[in-house]
Structure 1
């Protein structure tokens, strides 16, 4: 058996909703049935067969040969199996996923990994705003799983994050980890804005430094903690891959004391 392959014929002229194309929803369908699924977002009908050449017979492994910034909701609700996208992806990829693996070789739009509770999301390029964050009106963002970004992330990454791990190799946009409830966010580049504002618990490891910090964080001074060494080793050995710190001593700040105040930010000495 070979995985299902979706080969893009041309760039779409409207945004495309690909939420239906996950292993659990495609199991038992024929190629013809898959090709007839509607994926358009305007009054003009677009089906899978209009945009893709479909081949293969194993829905547990999906492959998109050719991505697009207009391909929204890839892997939304993914609960098992694997999806691989060659190229860019649009908004809400991997949203509410609970298992499986989703890989994008290019960049992704906003709300990637939004409210995900499990699984592995890997974006080799940049990620948009609200990485792992909630949609408007939702009370919590990411609650489990792992996100790895090979480039930079946009504003408000890990907003309302409750659990899980996010590793960003590059810089963070403004106000990362705002309203964070728990979980771990690690970034190799500089964090813009005021990271950690209104965070209750959780851990930010920012070896690239920060633009500025809220005055409601308390400087605890240099910290040579065994947990930093263990985190560097264990996270690097897991699905998140290499991390931009090695467990050496860092400066620790506690907060945000404007709320519960049990979070922590680690910065270079």
Structure 2
């Protein structure tokens, strides 16, 4: 059976809250009922049917044909199933997801994968600030799952991450991995200034180096850890489907000693 498909009719004239378009929310609904669901965020009501042409299919597999930077909260709270977006999305894609798979074939806005606890989220383009991080006032960022951005990301990617893995194929903005408690953040490109600011534990790998490392990180020398080679194989065999580490020796910096100081930052030797 083909996927439940939402085909964009035209660029929306307001931001849209698409958090209701997940398998768990749509279970038991027919095409007319889905088309009548409200998704507008202003005083001018917009329904699913006004914005999208709806083609019924397998509710466990949802496809958006056409994207927009005004598509907010796609896949929020996803627990199972798959969502494919053929285009860009706005903020909070995959926020609080605990399972399933989301693939965005375009760019994403702020807080992609915010506080996710499981599942797999892939963004083919770039992503905005606070990738995997918490919203203002929240104490925990990402607590599990895998988040993969093929492009570059904004500032404070992985803020307050506690578990899980974030892989960035391009560059990262300032303060990547800020306030990390645990987990892994890999930036294949160059990290902005002060990666790992106030991190307590966890691992950051800046494959292209960093603009500037904080003064409260201690140089532990050049390491050739076996774990890098094992991780490279695991990533290639897992959902990422590609190696993200070449296993080469790297310089280890311990910190942030301004916090608990049990984290590690790896940069080229």
With structure 1 as the length reference, what TM-score do the two structures score? 0.98
After TM superposition, give the deviation of residue 237 of structure 1 in Å.
1.8
Counting matched residue pairs gives 269
Runs of 4 or more off by more than 6 Å in structure 1? Answer: none
State whether residues 207 and 244 of structure 1, in contact with CA within 8 Å, keep that contact through their aligned partners in structure 2.
no
The separation in 1 between residues aligned to 2:113 and 2:57, in whole angstroms, is 27
After TM superposition, give the deviation of residue 35 of structure 1 in Å.
0.2
1:121 aligns with 2:121: yes
Gaps of 5+ in 1: none
State whether residues 14 and 41 of structure 2, in contact with CA within 8 Å, keep that contact through their aligned partners in structure 1.
yes
After TM superposition, give the deviation of residue 57 of structure 1 in Å.
2.4
Q: Name the stretch that deviates more: 142-151 or 242-251.
A: 242-251
- Secondary structure class of the residue paired with 2:145: strand
Q: Deviations over 1:87-117 (max 9, x none)?
A: 0000000000000000000000000000000
The separation in 1 between residues aligned to 2:208 and 2:242, in whole angstroms, is 15
Partner of 2:255: 255
The separation in 2 between residues aligned to 1:245 and 1:104, in whole angstroms, is 23
The separation in 1 between residues aligned to 2:91 and 2:233, in whole angstroms, is 32
- Secondary structure class of the residue paired with 1:83: strand
After TM superposition, give the deviation of residue 23 of structure 1 in Å.
0.7
- Secondary structure class of the residue paired with 1:99: coil
- Secondary structure class of the residue paired with 2:59: strand
The separation in 1 between residues aligned to 2:165 and 2:197, in whole angstroms, is 18
- Secondary structure class of the residue paired with 1:79: coil
After TM superposition, give the deviation of residue 240 of structure 1 in Å.
2.8
After TM superposition, give the deviation of residue 235 of structure 1 in Å.
2.1
1:73 aligns with 2:73: yes
Q: Deviations over 1:191-216 (max 9, x none)?
A: 01210000000001111100001111
With structure 2 as the length reference, what TM-score do the two structures score? 0.98
The separation in 1 between residues aligned to 2:236 and 2:2, in whole angstroms, is 31
Give the alignment of 1:1-269 within 5 angstroms. 1-269=1-269
State whether residues 61 and 82 of structure 1, in contact with CA within 8 Å, keep that contact through their aligned partners in structure 2.
yes
Gaps of 5+ in 2: none
The separation in 1 between residues aligned to 2:115 and 2:74, in whole angstroms, is 14
Q: Deviations over 1:42-85 (max 9, x none)?
A: 01000000000000221100000000000000000000000000
After TM superposition, give the deviation of residue 2 of structure 1 in Å.
1.9
For the aligned residue pairs, the C-alpha RMSD in angstroms reads: 0.8
State whether residues 166 and 240 of structure 1, in contact with CA within 8 Å, keep that contact through their aligned partners in structure 2.
no
The separation in 1 between residues aligned to 2:243 and 2:175, in whole angstroms, is 21
State whether residues 17 and 39 of structure 2, in contact with CA within 8 Å, keep that contact through their aligned partners in structure 1.
yes
State whether residues 147 and 240 of structure 1, in contact with CA within 8 Å, keep that contact through their aligned partners in structure 2.
no
After TM superposition, give the deviation of residue 22 of structure 1 in Å.
0.3
State whether residues 167 and 243 of structure 1, in contact with CA within 8 Å, keep that contact through their aligned partners in structure 2.
no
After TM superposition, give the deviation of residue 225 of structure 1 in Å.
1.0
State whether residues 235 and 244 of structure 2, in contact with CA within 8 Å, keep that contact through their aligned partners in structure 1.
no
After TM superposition, give the deviation of residue 232 of structure 1 in Å.
1.6
